[in-house]
Amino acid sequence: MLEKIMATEEAITSSNNGFVQNPVGGSNPPALKKKRNLPGTPGKLTNFIFKNIDSSIYADPEAEVIALSPKTLMATNRFLCEICGKGFQRDQNLQLHRRGHNLPWKLKQRTNKEVKKRVYVCPEKTCVHHHPSRALGDLTGIKKHFCRKHGEKKWKCEKCSKRYAVQSDWKAHSKTCGTREYKCDCGTLFSRRDSFITHRAFCDALAEETARVNAVSSIHDLTAGSINYDLTGNPLGPNMAQHFSSIFKPISSNDNQTRQGGVSLWMNQGLAQVSEAMGNNIQEVHQLRSVTSSGAMFGDLFAVSCSQTPPSDHYQLNWPVFGNKILSDAGASQLASVPSLYSSQEQQSHRTAPASMSATALLQKAAQIGATSTDPSFLGSFALKSNANKVQDASKFYGLYGSSPVSTNPASDVESSGNDQISTLNQLQMYPSKRQKIFQSDQDSPSGGQTRDFLGVGVQAICHPSSINGWI
């Protein structure tokens, strides 16, 4: 598959006689690229196909190459009204405005004859789009690109203090900031990233996770530094990554769903220290109750249970135990535990834990074999022929992608390396953003039903906004 793709590439590039330099020389040659969205249709994934490598990432060799200065690119409202001085981004808009002044106006018609296609290069010398072969076809596109990659980040999100150079990017982010949920393996959902990270570090679910991580950690470390997911200029990226994560999300969510008692794992261990003040027990009983009764298993347990009005009878039951006055109260008193309620939960969680392990263990094995996978239509196309030097091949890929900021499909990098490390994908959700920057920005693009269809994987959206306790 790969060889076929590469052959097609060469065929295309060799016919670009307009651009003598073969792309390998100047910028980083993308040997394996996926078809990108045409500039001008950001955020929408129109067609995601591995087989047909399309030359659209390369500028039309017949097109006229325009190099605008940074000043021009950053300038907005270049078209000024002579009467009132109001500025407009486009000539058309100015013309319409002129009507209001009773000035003669004329809207330019699109000429019927072939318009000479224009492509624009980025003025920044170090940028890959500086090269004419990688020019962008749309004026708005090059403006946004320049601003995003090389511009000052003037717009800042209030909630999370993330910075953007392009106002529309900032607006898009602000809409979704704080609405994103993070899910821990134990089942708890968080709307705050920092709470999620801190929780994760101490969560008991981490213990199982690291068993898997350790198994492939050597390969992981090798690839860790060489993957560059710097995609801020690429609207395609987020969608790509979404696919990959969604392939694997079911696995991790299955883990969680089978481990219904997973949350209680944590609580059970706490309950083991039953000699603590009664409040502990009451809290746990209440939480477990709310878990089983409301079914909102994956809500933020503590917040949900704490914010609900606790059954008052519990408390009155126990407060009297402490009824003696301060001066005679030396300390906490003992309370009988409620073992039966919890032991059943415990058994359940212990039972189901092995089941979840085997699912991922299966995947790991599949990945190591390489050719086989649980999703042949998708993973198969990526199968590297040489399994023996898996790592080598992987790094070859990365070398090719290098640090190209407009690299294609970072998700494919994830995939290839991910074949080796299912565990990293399990952690995609909260994986460091450098490696999955796409996840940060995937809020900018809708996760459409199209993606699911293509993958043939019926993915349940993990994040159910409704069950989240928002202000946490």
Partner 1 sequence: MQSNSSNNNNQPQTSHTSTSRSSDSGEACGGGNKWASKLLSECARAISEKDSSKIHHLLWMLNELASPYGDCDQKLASYFLQALFCKATDSGQRCFKTLATVAEKSHSFDSARKLILKFQEVSPWTTFGHVASNGAILEALDGESKLHIIDISNTLCTQWPTLLEALATRNDETPRLKLTVVVTASIVKSVMKEIGQRMEKFARLMGVPFEFNVISGLNHIGELTKEGLGVREDEAVAINCVGALRRVEVDERNSVIQLLRSLSPRVVTVVEEEADFSSSRYDFVRCFEECLRFYTLYFEMLEESFAPTSNERLMLERECSRNIIRVLACDEENGGGECERREQGIQWSGRLREAFSPVGFSDDVVDDVKALLKRYKAGWALVLAQGDNHESGIYLTWKEEPVVWASAWKP
Chain contacts with partner 1 (rule: CB under 8 A): 156-161, 192, 194-195, 197-202, 206-207, 209-210, 213-214, 217, 220-221, 224-225, 228, 266, 269-270, 272-273, 275-277, 279-280, 282-283, 302-303, 306-307, 310, 315-316, 319-320, 322-323, 325-327, 329-332, 427, 432-435, 471-472
Cα 369 to Cα 398: distance, rounded to the nearest angstrom? 21
Minimum separation from the CB atom of position 437 to partner 1 (A): 9
Our CB check for partner 1 shows the closer of 133 and 281 to be 281
Our CB check for partner 1 shows the closer of 65 and 222 to be 222
Cα 288 to Cα 342: distance, rounded to the nearest angstrom? 9
Minimum separation from the CB atom of position 456 to partner 1 (A): 30
No. of helices (H) and no. of strands (E), the chain: 19, 8
Minimum separation from the CB atom of position 388 to partner 1 (A): 25
Cα 435 to Cα 127: distance, rounded to the nearest angstrom? 21
Minimum separation from the CB atom of position 125 to partner 1 (A): 21
Q: Is the C-alpha dihedral spanning 351, 463, 183, 195 positive or negative?
A: negative
Is residue 240 within 8 Å of 447, Cβ to Cβ? no
Cβ neighbours for 297, distance < 8 A, ≥ 6 positions apart: 187, 260, 263, 291
Provide the 10 A C-beta neighbour count for residue 377. 11
Minimum separation from the CB atom of position 414 to partner 1 (A): 14
Our CB check for partner 1 shows the closer of 201 and 388 to be 201
Our CB check for partner 1 shows the closer of 277 and 357 to be 277
Minimum separation from the CB atom of position 386 to partner 1 (A): 26
Is residue 387 within 8 Å of 370, Cβ to Cβ? yes
Our CB check for partner 1 shows the closer of 85 and 323 to be 323
Cα 462 to Cα 382: distance, rounded to the nearest angstrom? 26
Our CB check for partner 1 shows the closer of 311 and 354 to be 311
Minimum separation from the CB atom of position 187 to partner 1 (A): 16
Is residue 193 within 8 Å of 176, Cβ to Cβ? no
Helices (H), 139-273: 139-150, 167-176, 193-202, 205-224, 236-258, 262-272
Our CB check for partner 1 shows the closer of 46 and 198 to be 198
